[in-house]
């Protein structure tokens, strides 16, 4: 595993984005959750957070793709650092929201989409 891949995995794990960190139950349950996101209603506050997270995720995915082609580009690396700092500001709120199984299901779905896009 190269240093980029190691750093990316460490970053995602730090954010709590790995599926193992957010799994609600067995693998079968996780699969069911991924297939039925509409079955898990969110509060207005949680929905706003997910919307903000998805917007952040779109920017993050774009920067990761750029970084693959220009790993030494200072501007790309600065953008990645800013995005990482933004994500760190969400930790307390995210931990609180993750206690709600409905939110955790949505978060897992969104995160899986990002993981598939950047792998």
DSSP H helical segments within the chain, as ranges? Answer: 3-14, 19-22, 27-35, 44-69, 74-88, 91-97, 101-118
Distance CA 58, CA 44 (A): 21
Number of domains in the chain: 1
Q: Does 10 reside within a domain? A: no
Secondary structure percentages of the chain, helix, strand, coil, to 5? 80, 0, 20
**pLDDT tens-digit map of 65-114:** 999 999 999 999 999 999 999 999 999 999 999 999 989 988 888 888 77
Residue 19 falls inside a structural domain: no
CA distance 85 to 82: 5
Q: Is the pLDDT of residue 59 over 70?
A: yes
Residue 108 in domain: yes
What pTM value is reported for the model?
0.64
Domain hosting residue 69, numbered range:
43-119
Residue 20 lies in a domain: no
Whether 17 shows a pLDDT value over 70: the answer reads no
Residue 93 domain-assigned? Answer: yes
Residue 80 belongs to a domain: yes
Residue 29 banded pLDDT, cuts 50, 70, 90: very low
């Amino acid at each position: 595993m190269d240093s980029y891949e190691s750093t990316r995995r460490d970053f995602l794990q730090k954010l709590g984005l790995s599926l193992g960190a957010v799994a609600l139950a067995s693998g079968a349950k996780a699969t069911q959750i991924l297939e039925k996101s509409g079955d898990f209603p969110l509060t207005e506050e949680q929905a706003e957070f997910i919307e903000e997270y998805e917007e952040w995720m779109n920017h993050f995915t774009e920067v990761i793709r750029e970084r693959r082609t220009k790993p030494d580009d200072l501007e790309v690396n600065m953008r990645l650092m800013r995005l990482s700092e933004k994500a760190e500001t969400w930790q307390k709120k995210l931990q609180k929201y993750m206690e709600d199984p409905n939110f955790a299901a949505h978060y897992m779905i969104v995160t899986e989409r990002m993981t598939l896009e950047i792998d």
